[in-house]
């Protein structure tokens, strides 16, 4: 009992081939779209590569890029097959390639589903990577004279201004690091000496933040220093002040940004998967309908198309038997040669 049998008169076969040809070109566009999505995601990740510690998350755009290129080629092949399918002289040479094509198309769909699943699973890894990267960025903020780290200040400043965030978890992260370089500290002044002596490591810590934490929506000009001292500024209370600096931490801001990006890409990928599956199903119907038509006396008669020749269980059992026979082939031969050897001895 074939699976999902459908009758195909000549006119329907022709229409199926034409429709599938058009569908395969749409699928090529979808492949190009997937490729562009992969490139876009990779560029966005590379832009902030300086505040990321590891690049595990890059596997998602890499898969998208590979699948995009592969699906362009695969669907172009499907279009070519459709073009030749209506010509009985040229169709037979494509026949042996169709089963491997199905396998490749299935593999591409599986990879796309894997990329969507990975984009959710790797969120934890992304957060960890950002935590370490941002911590280092804040620690090396002051090293504008150390080669290799001299652009950390600019990177962190631009990041905080663009994403409207401050520090790793919140603005207090800046209180725990010395973010002013020693070159700009007057070590003869009493204030500097007090602050440096007040902690074990001899760092110049202060309750202030860089200018990039300032929130432009605040009604008052930005307060950057003496943030915990209510008396240092007129009409200021640090416990209730909300608009002066950005409240969000940069780690959360970046994770939200990337998750939002992947959530937007998700439905696009799902539609590409459904497009690829429909191309696969239509090509299978076309293949079986054309094979049925070839076997008929009059090639222009009605033929049948199906997805599987027998039911699902029977096809699985057959496939199992075929694979087992491959393995058994070696042992059966050994048994027959042993029997032959034993026979002349006994005879």
Q: Which residues bind other proteins (CB under 8 A)?
A: 144-145, 150, 153-154, 157-158, 161, 179-181, 183-186, 189, 210-212, 214, 216-217, 219-222, 224, 233-235
| Closest distance of CB 246 from other proteins, Å | 12
Taking the least distance from each CB to other proteins, the nearer of 157 and 291 is 157
SS3 state of residue 164: coil
Name the minimum Å distance from CB 99 to other proteins.
44
Using a 10 angstrom Cβ sphere, with 0-12 exposed, 13-18 middle and 19 or more buried, the burial of residue 240 is exposed
H or E segment to which residue 264 belongs: helix 250-295
Q: Please, which residue, 123 or 224, has the CB nearer to other proteins?
A: 224
Which CB sits closer to other proteins, 220 or 320? 220
CA 86 vs CA 83, 102, 302: distances in Å:
7, 20, 14
Task: Using alpha carbons, list the distances in angstroms from residue 155 to 50, 149, 167, 215, 253.
Answer: 8, 10, 13, 18, 15
For 53, other C-beta atoms within 10 Å of its C-beta total 15
**Cβ-contact 210, 173 below 8 angstroms:** no
In whole angstroms, the minimum distance from the beta carbon of 20 to other proteins comes to: 29
Residue 41 Cβ vs other proteins, minimum distance, rounded to whole Å? 25
By C-beta, is 47 or 220 nearer to other proteins? 220
Using DSSP's 3-state secondary structure scheme, residue 305 falls into: strand
Residue 46 vs 150, nearer CB to other proteins: 150
Residue carrying the six token digits 């429909």: 278
C-alpha 60: how far from its chain's center? 2
CB of 162 to other proteins, least distance (A): 10
CB 248 within 8 A of CB 168: no
User: Which residue, 166, 117, 164, is CA-closest to 141?
Assistant: 166
Reading phi first (left if > 0) and then psi (alpha if -120 to 50, else beta), residue 340 is in alpha
For other proteins, the closer of residues 35 and 179 by Cβ is 179
CB of 216 to other proteins, least distance (A): 4
Which of 180, 205 has the CB closer to other proteins? Answer: 180
- The nearest distance, CB 44 to other proteins, in angstroms, is 20
C-beta closer to other proteins: residue 189 or 263: 189
Cβ at position 232, least distance to other proteins in Å: 11
Q: Tell the residue number behind the tokens 């040669």, with chain if given.
A: 337
């Amino acid at each position: 009992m074939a699976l999902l049998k459908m009758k195909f008169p000549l006119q329907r076969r022709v229409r199926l081939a034409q429709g599938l040809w058009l569908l395969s070109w749409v699928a090529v566009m979808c492949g190009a779209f997937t490729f562009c999505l992969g490139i876009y995601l990779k560029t966005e990740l590379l832009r902030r590569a300086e505040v990321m510690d590891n690049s595990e998350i890059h596997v998602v755009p890499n898969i998208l890029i590979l699948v995009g290129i592969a699906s362009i080629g695969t669907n172009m092949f499907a279009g070519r097959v459709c073009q030749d399918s209506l010509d009985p002289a040229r169709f037979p040479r494509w026949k042996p390639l169709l089963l491997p094509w199905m396998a490749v198309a299935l593999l591409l769909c599986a990879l796309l589903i894997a990329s969507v699943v990975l984009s959710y699973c790797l969120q934890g890894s992304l957060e960890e990577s950002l935590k370490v990267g941002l911590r280092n960025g804040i620690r090396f903020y002051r090293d504008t004279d150390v080669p290799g780290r001299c652009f950390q200040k600019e990177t962190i400043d631009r990041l905080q201004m663009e994403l409207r965030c401050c520090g790793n978890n919140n603005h207090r992260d800046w209180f725990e690091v010395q973010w002013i370089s020693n070159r700009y500290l007057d070590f003869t002044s009493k204030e500097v000496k007090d602050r440096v002596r007040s902690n074990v490591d001899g760092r110049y810590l202060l309750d202030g933040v860089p200018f990039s934490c300032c929130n432009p929506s605040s009604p008052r000009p930005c307060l950057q220093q003496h943030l915990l001292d209510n008396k240092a500024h007129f009409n200021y209370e640090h416990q209730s002040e909300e608009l002066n600096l950005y409240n969000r931490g940069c780690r959360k801001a970046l994770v939200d940004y990337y998750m939002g990006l992947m959530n937007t890409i998700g439905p696009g990928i799902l539609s590409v998967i459904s497009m690829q599956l429909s191309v696969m199903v239509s090509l299978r119907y076309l293949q079986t309908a054309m094979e049925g038509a070839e076997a008929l006396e009059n090639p222009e008669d009605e033929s049948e198309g199906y997805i599987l020749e027998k039911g699902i269980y029977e096809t699985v059992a057959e496939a199992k038997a075929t694979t087992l026979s491959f393995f058994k082939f070696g042992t059966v031969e050994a048994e027959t040669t042993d029997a032959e050897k034993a026979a002349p001895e006994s005879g």
